[in-house]
Every structure is written in structure tokens, then in C-alpha cells.
Amino acid sequence: MTTSGTTLKRIQREISDLKKEDLGDISVGPVNDNPFLWRARIPGPQGSVYEGGVFEVEIALGHDYPFSAPKVLFQTRIYHMNISDKGNVCIDILKNNWSPALSIFKVVLSLSSLLTDPNPSDPLVPSIATEFLRKRATHDLIARQWTELYAKPPPPLPPRPSPSTTPLNLPSSSINNSSTSTSVNRTSVKGKGRANAPATDADRIPEVQAIGIDIDSTIEGVEVTSYSTRGPKRRKDVYSTEDVIDLSEEVESSSTRSGKRRRVENPGDVIVIED
């Protein structure tokens, strides 16, 4: 069946009128911008056995709307004499009492009133209607249980903390140590007049005092090693004058030929050659 321009104009007008209505906690509107498929969320009326629940309802419009009544189907299970377990609804304005003067908004209001005042004279589920009339307490108890089981909305998620206000879970010892080290650094800078810089290799080398010994002042016959700031000198052996033998007369002839020092068999004797 083709859709007439009158149907689309009527649906667009109802969408505009809904923006002006005070819906309260009820929400209703097209699904995914489909003008022929609507969805409503009806909260359970206060004081009724359905209080605390939220019931989702699907509303389908025909291509000849508003000349035909919309088809209503409860998506949420409910224990109600005028609503079947498949979600079909038995209400007069959706059957014989439908009129093009009615609107989707008025249909949703009628459904909300049906939760408060069910109609046992025209029930869709006769057993629930009989229980409502004869065992009202049992009916109300089961209706509340179904509401808690099927229509109770999930609790809202807790708000996520802002990163800027999230405290750091640091142990108290770390905080105390950091504050102590800060105070020590400030004290050392104030006392020494310099910042705490890392130690260099030059700071780790211990100071060495230079020791100097005058060889000329050594005691005759004592072996001495001289030190100075420029490093150690070659060791000099000093001998007593008694160990020096003057052989100048015996080696005079040989010294004139070679001009060099002559080796003596005894390594402990030193021969002095006078040129």
C-alpha cells in the first residue's frame, strides 16, 4: 500500500506537537527516523503495583494512519489482565473507539492510565482478572514481583572521577621520605652556599701531601730514596769512603789508552779514574 501525503503530514505534525507537550517521565518518538515505527518508555505510576518499573512499548503506524488505529505491543513483560504474555494490549481506543482525532500521545497516556486502573470487565487474560477480583493481595504481590524481575531498570553507573582530582595512592612512608629529603636539601644549600651537585672524579681523589727529602743531608753510608712532587727519582747508592780504592797509579797507563772505566772483578769495589 502506498503512503499518501496526508499520512506523512499528519505524522510530522504529531512529532512537532510532542515537543510542546509535557510528557513528564514518559518518552516517545520515532525509531531511527522511521515515521511508521515508534517506541515509548512508560514508567510505572506511583502508588500502583508497577511503581519502580519502566515498560517499553512499540507502536506501529499503518500507511493509512490516522484512519486506522496503531498497533501497540509491550516489549517488557508485565503481569496485567489487559496485556497478554506476548505484549498485545486490549484497550477500547485501539479497537472500536478509535478516531482519527486521537493521536499517538493520547494512546500513550491511555496505556499509562491502564497500569493504574485495569479493566476487569474486558480482560485479555481472564485468570488474572479473576485473581484481581477474588485474591487482590495475591494479584498485587505477583504484579510487584514481575515488575522487580522484568521492568526494574539497572542502577546507573557511578560517575568516573576526573583525572585532575584523582589522588595518588602513595604510601605515607614515601611522602614522609620525600618531604624529609626536600628539607635536607634546602638546609644543605643554605648552610654551604652551594647546590647539591653530584660528586665528580676530582672530588673522590684524596689529597696527597708531597714529601721531599734532601739527599745531600743524608747520613753517609745509608741508602736513601728521594721523593718530590714531580715523582720518585732514581735510587742512588752511597758508600763509605773506606770502600773506595784509589788505583789511579796502577791503571794510569790503561786509562790513557781506552779513556773508559775499567771493570773490576769484585763487583763491590769501585775504581775511580782520574783524567
d(CA 215, CA 12): 121
Residue 10 · residue 103 · CB < 8 Å: no
* N- to C-terminal Cα separation, the chain: 146
Is 90 noted as a catalytic residue in this protein? Answer: yes
**Matching residue, cell 482478572:** 129
- From CA 1, how far away is CA 151, in angstroms rounded? 36
| Separation of alpha carbons 228 and 221, rounded Å | 22
- Distance (Å, whole) CA 251 – CA 269: 15
d(CA 40, CA 76): 11
Distance between CA atoms of residues 143 and 132, nearest Å: 10
Q: Which of 73, 90, 142, 247 is catalytic?
A: 90
- Give the 3-state secondary structure of residue 54: strand
Give the number of residues written for the chain.
275
Tell me the sheet residues that pair with 80.
83
Report the amino acid identity of residue 44: G
**What are the respective helix, strand and coil percentages of the chain, to the nearest 5?**
35, 15, 50
Q: How far is CA 263 from the centre of its chain?
A: 92
User: On the CB side of 60, how many CA atoms lie within 13 Å of its CA?
Assistant: 6
- Residues identified as active-site: 90
